[in-house]
């Protein structure tokens, strides 16, 4: 009996312990998976959605079939267009896609951007030689020159010393870009951006600077630089190789090319240059059959066939954000891209073009996600225009970003929930929070007051001017260090199928176009000419043997 009681007690205790452990596990699991659904009334969140098993199976089968039918284009790329979404993190791509869909009245998550449909994609590791999180200068040097370098420097290798012009002028430190390689192969070259054309990303195509901020001599003067021996970025674009040979330069930054005695045509404020140089006139002198344009109408009315080169400076500084464009002066990125491609399509040997959606980054820095997503959609429209105007048989199009940002898409919002709205869940402070937020940035002030989180219940978080919440107070939200995406279509696009270092991109462009370091691979790649050459060599050999035979048999 004693034994039976002991056994019963022991078994009960064991069972109790096991149940407690199981409850504990399931509770812990629940805690991690299910948040505070205080605002939810049922488990099926959006009853209007009826995508059943048959739907998902058929969409997956269609995707699978498309993948099985996919064939790499092994040809040489006559043209290369690099689309650079500045700061276009993967979260930005996803958010832009949802935002685009919701603007069109859909739930949004299923929407596709133009480059979502590209056949090949990869990840790009963006760190620089001395920085875990990149800026646009060192990253531009990586994907345009094929060499990683120090943060805040452009077109120079790791031996450059920040703000030291003697290391900028050292020939051994300089690295050339895809534009120099393309020009050596007699290809046309051009740049398009929504920022100043002297900003870090476009400067990566033509400049060598120990400080990305040295956009003109005035900026250099703050660092005590001898501006007579140290070329600023605007000077390098207009006066030096390869910038002076660009067929297309479109963007903002007019005041960096004008002397401080000359009023701007739009703002009437004087230019910035203290050295008296008028670089716009210098460009005109060097391009007598070129055209200088300053407005959208002038750009759209440009007669491409009669114009050898175009310099378009549409704003004294950065061009306006698309959503805030107050004048008809600024063309869209799509309009600039179309003109650029039409200009470069005149080149018999093809072209290399950089198109930057430069203000996605700046809108993020401002802590304004809606603005960033609008810029990303404009960027996508430019990509669509390029696809329309070119052929994937001879044009490699790459879409990527230079670095990430701290934007996150968080919470457990319902399918189709307004991306710019509240997530539908509560924090442990019983206050709602937004789906989009930044790890840091100016949105701190719209997040916290008197040591508490602000209640957003009656705040219009979808407003154009709304600053998404952030956890750390910083006036300018920072970049992020996570990988960014690469999307590619056209010849050699299949070389992007993995996780790569960012500087690999320049080497793929060179290989695909048979320029620069890519030249040494070209015999192997241009299979059509090789296949043509083999029968020719055999024929020559046959004729030689026949003649030799005739000579032998005669004697």
Residue ranges that bind Zn ion, judged by CB under 5 A: 361
Do the annotations mark residue 531 as ligand-binding?
no
* Chain position whose Cβ is nearest to Zn ion: 361
C-beta of 149: minimal distance to Zn ion in Å?
Answer: 17
Q: Which residues contact 320 (CB under 8 A, 6 or more apart)?
A: 326, 327, 330
Three-state SS at 256: helix
Number of H helices, E strands in the chain: 17, 19
Residue with smaller CB distance to Zn ion, 128 or 397: 128
By C-alpha distance, which of 479, 497, 515, 217 is closest to 351?
A: 515
Do the annotations mark residue 405 as ligand-binding?
no
Do the annotations mark residue 74 as ligand-binding?
no
C-beta of 481: minimal distance to Zn ion in Å?
Answer: 13
Do the annotations mark residue 356 as ligand-binding?
yes
- Upper half-sphere CA count for residue 40 (Cβ side, 13 Å): 17
C-beta of 466: minimal distance to Zn ion in Å?
Answer: 20
Q: How far is CA 400 from the centre of its chain?
A: 4
Distance (Å, whole) CA 355 – CA 357:
7
DSSP assignment string, 75-89: S--SEEEEEEETT--
Residue with smaller CB distance to Zn ion, 137 or 258: 137
Residue with smaller CB distance to Zn ion, 125 or 453: 125
Residue with smaller CB distance to Zn ion, 374 or 477: 477
Do the annotations mark residue 129 as ligand-binding?
no
Do the annotations mark residue 482 as ligand-binding?
no
In the block, which residue shows the tokens 């050699």?
492
- Alpha helices by DSSP H, 34-88: 53-69
Q: How far is CA 250 from the centre of its chain?
A: 17
Distance (Å, whole) CA 158 – CA 344:
33
Residues present in the chain in total: 555
C-beta of 259: minimal distance to Zn ion in Å?
Answer: 29
Which stretch of DSSP H or E encloses residue 13? helix 2-33
C-beta of 358: minimal distance to Zn ion in Å?
Answer: 9
133 within 8 A of 482, measured Cβ to Cβ: no
Which residues are tagged catalytic? 136
Residue with smaller CB distance to Zn ion, 361 or 375: 361
Distance (Å, whole) CA 281 – CA 288:
11
Distance (Å, whole) CA 244 – CA 241:
6
Distance (Å, whole) CA 225 – CA 48:
65
Residue with smaller CB distance to Zn ion, 197 or 513: 197
Biggest CA-to-CA distance, the chain: 124
Distance (Å, whole) CA 277 – CA 272:
10
Residue with smaller CB distance to Zn ion, 216 or 361: 361
Residue with smaller CB distance to Zn ion, 296 or 403: 403
Do the annotations mark residue 494 as ligand-binding?
no
C-beta of 256: minimal distance to Zn ion in Å?
Answer: 18
C-beta of 89: minimal distance to Zn ion in Å?
Answer: 11
Do the annotations mark residue 86 as ligand-binding?
yes
Do the annotations mark residue 366 as ligand-binding?
no
215 within 8 A of 198, measured Cβ to Cβ: yes
Distance (Å, whole) CA 421 – CA 462:
6
C-beta of 212: minimal distance to Zn ion in Å?
Answer: 11
Give the per-residue SS3 of 284-309: HHHCCCCEEECCHHHHHCCCHHHCCC
Strands 436-441 and 470-473: parallel
Binding residues for Mg(2+), by number, are 86, 199, 201, 356
Binding residues, by number, are 86, 199, 201, 356, 361, 365, 402-403, 479
Binding residues for Zn(2+), by number, are 86, 361, 365, 402-403, 479
């Amino acid at each position: 009996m004693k034994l039976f009681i002991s056994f019963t007690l022991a078994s009960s205790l064991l069972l109790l312990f096991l149940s407690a452990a199981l409850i504990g596990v399931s509770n812990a699991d629940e805690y991690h998976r299910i948040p505070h659904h205080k605002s939810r009334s049922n488990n099926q969140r959006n009853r209007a959605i009826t995508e059943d098993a048959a739907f998902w199976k058929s969409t997956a089968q269609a995707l699978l079939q498309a993948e099985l039918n996919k064939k790499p284009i092994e040809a040489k790329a006559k043209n290369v267009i690099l689309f650079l979404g500045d700061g276009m993190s993967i979260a930005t791509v996803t958010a832009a896609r949802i935002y685009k869909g919701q603007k069109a009245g859909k739930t949004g998550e299923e929407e596709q951007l133009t480059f979502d449909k590209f056949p090949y994609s990869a990840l790009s590791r963006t760190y620089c030689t001395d920085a875990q999180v990149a800026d646009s200068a060192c990253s531009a040097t990586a994907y345009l020159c094929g060499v990683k370098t120090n943060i805040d420097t452009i077109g120079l290798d790791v031996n450059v010393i920040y703000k030291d012009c003697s290391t900028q002028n050292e020939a051994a430190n300089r690295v050339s870009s895809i534009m120099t390689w393309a020009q050596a192969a007699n290809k046309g070259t051009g740049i398009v951006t929504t920022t100043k054309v002297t900003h870090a990303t476009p400067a990566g195509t033509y400049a060598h600077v120990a400080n990305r901020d040295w956009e003109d001599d005035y900026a250099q003067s703050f660092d005590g630089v001898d501006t007579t021996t140290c070329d600023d970025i605007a000077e390098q674009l207009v006066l030096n190789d390869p910038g002076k040979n660009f067929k297309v330069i479109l963007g903002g930054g007019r005041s960096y090319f004008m002397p401080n005695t000359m009023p701007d045509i739009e703002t009437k404020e004087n230019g910035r240059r203290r050295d008296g140089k008028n670089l716009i006139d210098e460009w005109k002198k060097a391009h007598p059959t070129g055209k200088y344009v300053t407005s959208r109408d002038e750009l759209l009315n440009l007669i491409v066939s009669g114009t050898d080169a175009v310099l378009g400076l549409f704003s004294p500084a950065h061009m306006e954000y698309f959503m805030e464009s107050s004048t008809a002066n600024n063309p869209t990125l799509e309009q600039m891209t179309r003109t650029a491609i039409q200009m470069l399509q005149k080149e018999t040997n093809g072209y290399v073009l950089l198109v930057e959606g430069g203000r996605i980054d700046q809108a993020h820095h401002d802590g304004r996600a809606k603005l960033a997503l609008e810029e990303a959609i404009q960027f996508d429209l430019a990509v669509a225009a390029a696809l329309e105007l070119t052929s994937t048989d001879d044009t490699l199009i790459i879409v990527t970003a230079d670095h990430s940002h701290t934007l996150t898409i968080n919470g457990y919002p319902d399918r189709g929930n307004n991306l710019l709205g509240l997530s539908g869940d509560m924090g442990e402070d019983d206050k709602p929070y937004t789906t989009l937020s930044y790890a840091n940035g100016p949105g701190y002030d719209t997040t916290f007051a008197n040591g508490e989180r602000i209640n957003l219940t009656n705040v219009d978080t979808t407003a154009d001017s709304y600053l998404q919440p952030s956890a750390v107070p910083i006036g300018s939200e920072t970049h992020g260090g996570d990988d960014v995406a690469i999307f590619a279509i056209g010849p050699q696009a299949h070389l992007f199928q993995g996780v790569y270092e960012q500087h690999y991109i320049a080497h793929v462009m060179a290989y695909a176009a048979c320029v620069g370091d890519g030249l040494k691979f070209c015999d192997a790649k241009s299979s059509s000419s090789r296949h043509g050459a083999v029968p020719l060599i055999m024929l020559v050999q046959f004729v030689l043997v026949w003649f030799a035979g005739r000579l032998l048999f005669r004697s």
